[in-house]
Structure 1
Amino acid sequence: MTPKSDHQLADDIVNTGNWIQAKITNHLRNYGLTYIQYNTLNVLHRVGERPMNVGELKQKISYGNADVTRLVDRLISKKLVERDLSVTNRRQMEIKLSDRGQEVITRINKEVKQLVNVLFESLQNNEMPPSAKTLMKKIRQ
């Protein structure tokens, strides 16, 4: 690819990602959640029962440290996450999904999956190569 076409591809990827994110964000308003709150709940959902400290969570969601604390505070006020002192390090807080948070993220993920399927309906089966997801991850490394 030429530099100009690399730039255009990057623009297309960003624009498409922004478009998809806007569609998902619009749906999340039904739950009173922002996209970053949804992303945070998903990160906690993926690790299962294991609690995460703020530093781990910050790395996974790429968000500023002070902002992560406020983000967690908002999710606590919505009763979607719980925060406790670490058993091994009393100076460290551990964060995990509450039972309600688990129910909400499971429901939202089903709905978002349906939404994304609708967004991708215009593509034919052979238009989305299996390597597309792998290539996107490789670019982010």
Structure 2
Amino acid sequence: MIVELLSTGSFIDHKVNSVLKEYGITHVQFNILRILQGANGEALSPGVISDRMLFKNSDVTRLMDRLEKRALISRNICPENRRKMDIRLEKKGLKLISDVLPKIESDLNGFFKDVVSPKERDQLLKTLSKIQS
């Protein structure tokens, strides 16, 4: 079972990465953008972003350097606490998400539609949620 789970994860990762590559972004960088999108315009600290990452061994500072260079995010010193950094998703980052996410979902939904029935998909989602909790 472990081999099948790892193989499926690798397959999905490959599908996602092939879309992200078209936009010059990695899945880990995309994860940061999605975390910031979930903040609904509020600033997050690098520590909070790091805690929410799917892949915990990532160098968040280096990843944010690249995102900032592309104007996808902004980093500013917090006015209330100068030792704290505020990270925000910029319009360009939000646009990238809105361009990329439908393509990823279309690719994966198309794949799953061809392989599993809606009932099997619902059961798979329930099982995956159960495993992750």
The corresponding residue for 2:110 is: 118
Partner Cα separation in structure 2 for residue 84 and residue 64 of structure 1: 24
Alignment of structure 1 residues 34-113 onto 2, 5 Å: 34-61=26-53, 62-64=55-57, 67-113=59-105
**Bigger RCO of structures 1 and 2 (CA < 8 A, at least 6 apart):** 2
Listed as ranges, the gaps of 5+ residues in structure 1 are 1-7
Aligned length: 131
- What letter matches 1:126 in structure 2? K
Separation (CA, whole Å) in 1 of partners of 2:130 and 2:81: 35
Q: Which residue of 2 aligns with 1:3?
A: none
Which segments of 5 or more consecutive residues in structure 2 lack a partner in the other structure?
A: none
**Larger-Rg structure:** 1
Secondary structure of 2:113's aligned partner:
coil
In structure 2, distance between residues paired with 1:131 and 1:59: 29
Q: How far apart in 1 are the matches of 2:40 and 2:108? A: 24
1:127 and 2:96 equivalent? no
Q: Match for 2:9: what amino acid?
A: G
1:53, 1:119 → 2: CA distance? 36
TM-score for both structures, normalised by structure 1: 0.84
> Secondary structure in 1 aligned to 2:88?
strand
TM-score (structure 2 length as normaliser):
0.89
Give the deviation of 1:55 after TM superposition. 0.4
CA distance in 1, matches of 2:79, 2:132: 34
Task: Tell me the CA shift for residue 131 of structure 1.
Answer: 4.3
